[in-house]
Amino acid sequence: MRTVKYFIVLLLLLLTNMTWAQDAASIDAWEVKPTESVEPDAMPAQAAPQKILAETEEMSMAPLPVSTTHVAQVAESRNQVVLLVGDSMADGLGTRFNDYAVKNGFEFHSIVWYGSTTRDWAIAADLQYQIEKVRPTYIIISLGTNDLGYKDYSRRETAIQTILSRVGNIPYVWVGPLPWQKVKDRTIVNVIRDCTGEGRFFDSSSVIASRADGIHPTRQGAALWVDKIVEWMGEPELNANPIEMDKPDFSTRFTHDEKHGMGYHGRR
């Protein structure tokens, strides 16, 4: 009996050792098993370059931005035919503009009508007559001084529009009146500007020119005034019909084409 017990104990020990060996082998096999990758999904090798290429092509095909700012071409004054028409202020203006004509080689004509208003020029046929006579390529209008203080703005506006209709497509500049201490109401300046537009109206409200009688500029005052007008006329960002003139350093003798007094009623 004792021998049988020893045999059973020995058998149990052998079975236990075999189980441990199998477990160790299983553990070794698990440890050497390759570990699966846990990296995020990678983009296809060609995907990124194709996307960049597409964006590049789209950018290259997009049109370049185009400036919407229109700047008028500056005309040369040489060989131009310039016509100045206006009230008594055109008397002093014409003298200095003639200096510019001699300096720059253009033909110059001036018509002065003392005491005239926008309504006078709208009723009379003088402007149309002079346009047909001298065939100007550029017109300078100096009116508004004798319109200061009047309140019938709608009638003045109609007169201004009539004058501009006769000018037609000829490039022009309207020179507004100088400041006048006697008349504070300068509404007519805005009325004229509204008709011509900013690019064809020279506002003289801030011009300081010496006066001979409190109203009309002296020769020196008129020369300074014209110099400022011409400077403005040469700026394409300010003047819709820019024209370039070199400043003369001399003065000339000059006689207007026509010079009418306050009793003149114009051509009919």
Q: pLDDT tens digit string along 65-123?
A: 333 334 567 888 888 999 999 999 999 999 999 999 999 999 999 999 999 999 999 99
Asked if 196 and 240 touch (Cβ cutoff 8 Å), the reply is: no
pTM over 0.85: no
Q: What percent of the chain has pLDDT over 70?
A: 73
Task: State the pLDDT at residue 23.
Answer: 46
Beta bridge partners of 258: 111
- What CA dihedral angle connects 234, 139, 177 and 199, to 10 degrees? -50
Task: State the pLDDT at residue 75.
Answer: 85
Q: Please compute the mean of the pLDDT values over residues 243-251 and round it to a whole number.
A: 96
Lowest mean pLDDT among 54-58, 152-156, 166-170, 228-232: 54-58
Q: Please compute the mean of the pLDDT values over residues 3-32 and round it to a whole number.
A: 46
3-state DSSP percent of the chain in helix, strand and coil, to 5: 45, 10, 40
Q: What domains can be seen in the chain, in order of their start residue?
A: 75-240 (3.40.50.1110)
Confidence of residue 182 (pLDDT cuts 50, 70, 90): confident
Q: Please compute the mean of the pLDDT values over residues 19-47 and round it to a whole number.
A: 40
- CA of 8: how far to CAs of 20, 21, 198, in Å? 19, 21, 124
Residue with tokens 């017109």: 139
Lowest mean pLDDT among 62-66, 146-150, 226-230, 237-241: 62-66
Token pair of 197 as six digits: 């537009």
- Three-state DSSP class for 105? coil
Mean per-residue pLDDT over the chain, rounded: 82
Confidence of residue 174 (pLDDT cuts 50, 70, 90): very high
Lowest mean pLDDT among 27-36, 130-139, 155-164, 184-193: 27-36
More confident residue, 17 or 144: 144
